[in-house]
Amino acid sequence: MSESKQTRLLFVDDDHNVLNGLRRMLYAMKGQWKMEFVHKASDALKVMETTPYDVVVSDLRMPDMDGIQFLETVREAYPDTIRFMLSGYMDKALQTQAAQCVHQFISKPCDAEQLKVLVTRALALYDRLRSGNVTKILSRIESLPVMPDVYQEVIDMFHRPSCSLRQIGQAIAKDVGMSSKILQVVNTAFYGQETKIIDPVHAVSYLGQKAAEALIITSGVFGMLSNKKIKQFSVMGLQEHCIRVGTLAREICKIHDLDEQEQETATMAGILHDAGKMVLILHFADELVEAIARSKQGTQPMHVIEHDMLGVTHGELGGCLLDLWGLPNSIIEAVTYHHQPSHCVNQEFSVISAVHIADAIDREYCCEVGWGYPEMLDMEYLNQLGIADKIQTWRRLHLPDLEEEPAHARA
């Protein structure tokens, strides 16, 4: 591999022993990776002025500038650089605070293999999101949707360790538009609620942090679509579908023994998985209407037709949007690959699998306006993971009274 094709990584840590350890541990990668090691964030920023880096890996606690400040600066100045945080000390509050500037957290100590896998996965994901086709489509859009201020303020509260869910609920309650949207969606999309939720504070504590945050994000953007009505497409139906997918993806992770953090990630990724459809509604409404018609007439799901027509899928567009909004890798990955989980470098059961399964199962039973031919489960992928025999279990998680398979799945 020529030097220009090598992946460039920059490691920043004030602890000489840590940097020496990383240097030794990653010695075998020097054919593929061009690595630089610096002790200060300010030195790292100087180096970056003259050399572009694909990935930066930063410590959290450093004397001159801490890791969060450093990665925030990198995010602003070099948005295409992938940002990892490697830290021995990372409590939930700090993680929440750093979430918007960090693509991927890694806890110390980590081994070479683990780091190699995470870097390879992240590079593959961002290569896809910055491919020629995606860039071409994005260049036809003046700008991707920006979160309305009032929503952004509430989202920022989720990242402030001093804010409780109760305070966040109270802030939502102050905005009539935001609270009515949240309550409408919570009450229509969730199963098993005996009484209607009428208080945003209750809604937020009922949903939990990640689900509530994802719901605010989607409500903010879905709100922008209110004057973009497409009669062939139900925005409310899509929003309800997204929440059901978030709920089911979490349940699927639980029965497959993924930990609590991954379950939360699955909820958030599920709620956000079709965010790319908002980009289609806002900027490619004519193409969307044509894709719906073509999908309904034939047996091709929407993402295949979108790829035919635009060269990208709503999965990739959603991935780009969420990258712009500073969401972590794990969410962007699940959103980007939700219809094509086999395209991901990671081929173990993960949040990506859970979101793919939850989406396909919800689509089997719930057909709203504007969805064309159902998106199907990728059976080859499920067979490879050795979990294809669990389909009925997952369907029952979604619809406990289920007696029959959906008609098209029996065929």
Smallest distance, Å, CB 314 to Fe ion? 6
Q: Which of 72, 240, 264, 274 binds Fe ion (CB under 5 A)?
A: 274
DSSP 276-311: HHHHHHHH-HHHHHHHHHHHHHSS-BHHHHHHHHHS
Q: Which is nearer to Fe ion, 72 or 364 (CB)?
A: 364
Distance of CA 375 to the CA centre of its chain: 19
Cα(318)–Cα(280) distance, rounded to whole angstroms? 10
Q: Candidates 135-143, 171-179, 270-278, 402-410 — which segment interacts with Fe ion by CB under 5 A? A: 270-278
Q: Which is nearer to Fe ion, 84 or 371 (CB)?
A: 371
Smallest distance, Å, CB 274 to Fe ion? 4
Smallest distance, Å, CB 205 to Fe ion? 27
Q: Candidates 147-155, 161-169, 205-213, 351-359 — which segment interacts with Fe ion by CB under 5 A? A: 351-359
Smallest distance, Å, CB 286 to Fe ion? 20
Q: Which is nearer to Fe ion, 36 or 368 (CB)?
A: 368
Q: Which is nearer to Fe ion, 264 or 274 (CB)?
A: 274
Cα(254)–Cα(354) distance, rounded to whole angstroms? 10
Smallest distance, Å, CB 113 to Fe ion? 33
Using the rule CB under 5 A, is 359 a contact of Fe ion? yes
Q: Which is nearer to Fe ion, 171 or 243 (CB)?
A: 243
Q: Candidates 40-48, 71-79, 256-264, 352-360 — which segment interacts with Fe ion by CB under 5 A? A: 352-360
Q: Are the beta carbons of 13 and 31 closer than 8 angstroms?
A: no
Smallest distance, Å, CB 360 to Fe ion? 8
- Look at strands 33-38 and 7-12 and give their pairing: parallel
Q: Candidates 8-16, 72-80, 282-290, 357-365 — which segment interacts with Fe ion by CB under 5 A? A: 357-365
Q: Candidates 67-75, 112-120, 353-361, 386-394 — which segment interacts with Fe ion by CB under 5 A? A: 353-361
Q: Which is nearer to Fe ion, 213 or 375 (CB)?
A: 375
Strand, coil or helix: 255: helix
Smallest distance, Å, CB 339 to Fe ion? 6
Q: Which is nearer to Fe ion, 200 or 276 (CB)?
A: 276
Smallest distance, Å, CB 338 to Fe ion? 6
End-to-end CA distance of the chain: 49
Q: Which is nearer to Fe ion, 103 or 363 (CB)?
A: 363
Counting other chains too, the contacts that 96-99 makes at CB distance below 8 Å and 24 or more residues apart are: 96/158, 96/159, 96/161, 97/68, 97/159, 97/160, 97/161, 98/60, 98/67, 98/68, 98/71, 99/159, 99/326, 99/327, 99/328
Strand, coil or helix: 57: strand
Q: Where are the extended beta strands (E) located within 102-184?
A: 104-107
Distance of CA 115 to the CA centre of its chain: 20
Smallest distance, Å, CB 50 to Fe ion? 41
Q: Which is nearer to Fe ion, 34 or 250 (CB)?
A: 250
Q: Candidates 77-85, 186-194, 345-353, 354-362 — which segment interacts with Fe ion by CB under 5 A? A: 354-362
Q: Which is nearer to Fe ion, 83 or 356 (CB)?
A: 356
- Look at strands 33-38 and 55-58 and give their pairing: unpaired
Q: Which is nearer to Fe ion, 157 or 317 (CB)?
A: 317
Q: Candidates 151-159, 221-229, 272-280, 378-386 — which segment interacts with Fe ion by CB under 5 A? A: 272-280
Give how many residues touch Fe ion by CB under 5 A.
2
Strand, coil or helix: 139: helix
Smallest distance, Å, CB 245 to Fe ion? 6
Q: Where are the extended beta strands (E) located within 7-99?
A: 7-12, 33-38, 55-58, 82-87
Smallest distance, Å, CB 273 to Fe ion? 6
For residue 21, with 0-12 CB atoms within 10 Å meaning exposed, 13-18 middle and 19 or more buried, which class applies? middle
Cα(54)–Cα(175) distance, rounded to whole angstroms? 41
What the block records as the tokens of 199 is 């208080």
Residues that bind Fe ion (CB under 5 A): 274, 359
